[in-house]
Amino acid sequence: MARGKPVIVVGITGGIGAYKSCELVRRLQKSGFCVKVVMTEAATRFVTPLTFRTLTGEPVAVSLWADEPHSKVHHISLAEEADVFAIVPCTANVIAKLAQGRADDMLTTTALATEAPLVIAPAMNTHMWRKETTRRNVETLRTRGAVFVEPGTGELACGDVGEGRLADVNAIADAIEVEARRCRDLAGAHVLVTAGGTQEPIDPVRFIGNHSSGKTGFAIAEEAARRGARVSLVTGPVSLPDPFGCEVVRVQTALQMRAAVLARFSSADVAIMTAAVADFRPAAMSAEKIKKTDAPASIGLERNPDILAELGGMDSGAILVGFAAETTDVIANAQGKLAAKHADVIVANDVSDPSMGFGTDHNKVYFVTGAAVDESPVLGKPAIARDLLDRVAALLEAKRG
């Protein structure tokens, strides 16, 4: 992520609205952004790369095959530089490619490689915009966290009247600027995140555990790092790669997680406890595998420490976020947990629905505070992470100001 002027990469696809991207580039430059442009081959039929080279003073990326052998791979360098990646206009074809993860040209390859937030301003014929396949692709990208600037209604280039016109340039620029502010709103903050479940060993083979995949915590850690925070992620055993830009501490048991969290909490501005920590552990672990013939009728348990409650009792000044996976009385139980743990926010969800929650890519949550209960729609976990960190950033700003 750039640390000087925020970098906006503007992707331009082949549509009559491409000419409006010239105005967008100028507007973004006047707002203090560094703008770089990537175009599809079809876009160059409407506006030439020279136009954007002149406006931005930067090389314009069109072909995957234009890199010199000694230069950085252009689509990767653009992807890494971008604070925001905006595609204006975006055709139905490119929306479909993005939804499917296809990368067969400079623009879609850069989009797939970037970790920056994606702002999409569609433009197409009304019938194309209304097609079920297009709507499904749009919703797929929305659940992954993409921001759409809805097309306007009016007369289209083909003569039809209806939805599909590229949105007003000022509305598009405003959406991009919101994402650019968001991408740095946690700069300087230390965010501590826990993720995954813990495994409490019975013997060298067996353990007490749960179904937590760690996906929500990892999404939060990656989003916080993207927004400029220093992130410490303490995770139980999960099958996920380390998120970019984070300190990752892998533990197994609740006691190990507690030790890793306490070692980092004193410097944390925010602690987000998504981990599904086992409430109990075996009172004694067998040093050898217990044979079926020797298995006891019962296993003695002892209670694990309540890490969230322990942090809440420290009165450190850090913003504290807890998670509540419930099967009944979701909101009431979350409100009780909010008070008992002295947390600022509890994120609650109903795990009795097997299509959401543990191990899935989507969830529906409630953000519970002392002032309100806000219900989210069904979203991808990266989108939930962004929504949560919007709330955390607002709390940090209020605390600092």
Q: Could you say which DSSP state residue 162 is in? A: E
In 3D space, the residue among 211, 228, 158 whose CA is nearest the CA of residue 17 turns out to be 158
Token representation of residue 65: 């095959």
Say how far apart CA 169 and CA 22 lie, in whole Å.
10
Asked if the model's pLDDT at residue 260 lies above 80, the reply is yes
Of 49-58, 71-80, 232-241, give the lowest mean pLDDT range.
71-80
Q: What pLDDT sits at residue 292?
A: 85
The domain spanning residue 149 has which CATH number? 3.40.50.1950
Residues 169 and 226 in one domain: no
pLDDT digits (tens, 9 = 90+) for 176-196: 999 998 888 999 999 999 999
Contact 55, 28 (CB under 8 A): no
pLDDT band at 248 (very low <50, low <70, confident <90, very high): very high
Asked if the model's pLDDT at residue 1 lies above 60, the reply is no
Of 12-21, 41-50, 139-148, 354-363, give the lowest mean pLDDT range.
354-363
Say how far apart CA 260 and CA 262 lie, in whole Å.
6
pTM to 2 decimal places: 0.83
pLDDT digits (tens, 9 = 90+) for 131-167: 999 999 999 999 888 999 999 887 777 777 778 789 9
In 3D space, the residue among 179, 186, 176 whose CA is nearest the CA of residue 29 turns out to be 176
Asked if the model's pLDDT at residue 40 lies above 80, the reply is yes
Beta bridge partners, 250, equal: 235
For the chain, what is the mean pLDDT? 91
Residues 238 and 387 in one domain: yes
Whether 2 is covered by a domain: the verdict is no
Q: What pLDDT sits at residue 145?
A: 85
Last residue of a domain, one of 182, 200, 217: 182
In 3D space, the residue among 228, 108, 110 whose CA is nearest the CA of residue 180 turns out to be 228
SS3 content of the chain, % helix, strand, coil (to 5): 35, 25, 40
Percent of the chain with pLDDT over 90: 74
Last residue of a domain, one of 182, 208, 230: 182
Residues 210 and 359 in one domain: yes
Residues 200 and 109 in one domain: no
Residue 315 burial by CB count (10 A; 0-12/13-18/19+): exposed, middle or buried? exposed
Whether 80 is covered by a domain: the verdict is yes
Contact 214, 250 (CB under 8 A): no
Contact residues for 324 (Cβ-Cβ < 8 A; gap 6+) = 330, 333, 334, 337, 346, 347, 348, 349, 368
Residues 106 and 195 in one domain: no
Please tell me the total count of domains within the chain: 2
Whether 1 is covered by a domain: the verdict is no
Residues 222 and 138 in one domain: no
Residues 59 and 80 in one domain: yes
Asked if the model's pLDDT at residue 3 lies above 60, the reply is no
Q: Determine how many CB atoms are found less than 10 A away from the CB of residue 336.
A: 14
Residues 118 and 222 in one domain: no
pLDDT digits (tens, 9 = 90+) for 199-236: 999 999 999 998 899 999 999 999 999 899 999 999 99
Residues 339 and 372 in one domain: yes
Residues 156 and 206 in one domain: no
pLDDT band at 67 (very low <50, low <70, confident <90, very high): low
Token representation of residue 313: 């009792």
Q: What pLDDT sits at residue 357?
A: 67
pLDDT digits (tens, 9 = 90+) for 298-339: 899 999 999 999 999 998 899 999 999 888 999 999 999 999
Q: Is 246 a catalytic residue?
A: no
Last residue of a domain, one of 143, 163, 182: 182
Catalytic choice (22, 34, 90, 158)? 158
Residues 42 and 101 in one domain: yes
Asked if the model's pLDDT at residue 47 lies above 80, the reply is yes
pLDDT digits (tens, 9 = 90+) for 349-359: 988 877 776 77
The domain spanning residue 227 has which CATH number? 3.40.50.10300
Percent of the chain with pLDDT over 70: 97
Whether 373 is covered by a domain: the verdict is yes
Containing structural domain, residue 123: 7-182
Residues 163 and 281 in one domain: no
Asked if the model's pLDDT at residue 74 lies above 70, the reply is yes
In 3D space, the residue among 161, 170, 174, 93 whose CA is nearest the CA of residue 133 turns out to be 93
SS3 track for 25-93: HHHHHHCCCEEEEEECCHHHHCCCHHHHHHHHCCCEECCCCCCCCCCCCHHHHHHHHCCEEEEEEECHH
Overall average pLDDT of the 262-276 stretch: 97
Whether 214 is covered by a domain: the verdict is yes
Q: What pLDDT sits at residue 379?
A: 87
Overall average pLDDT of the 369-375 stretch: 93
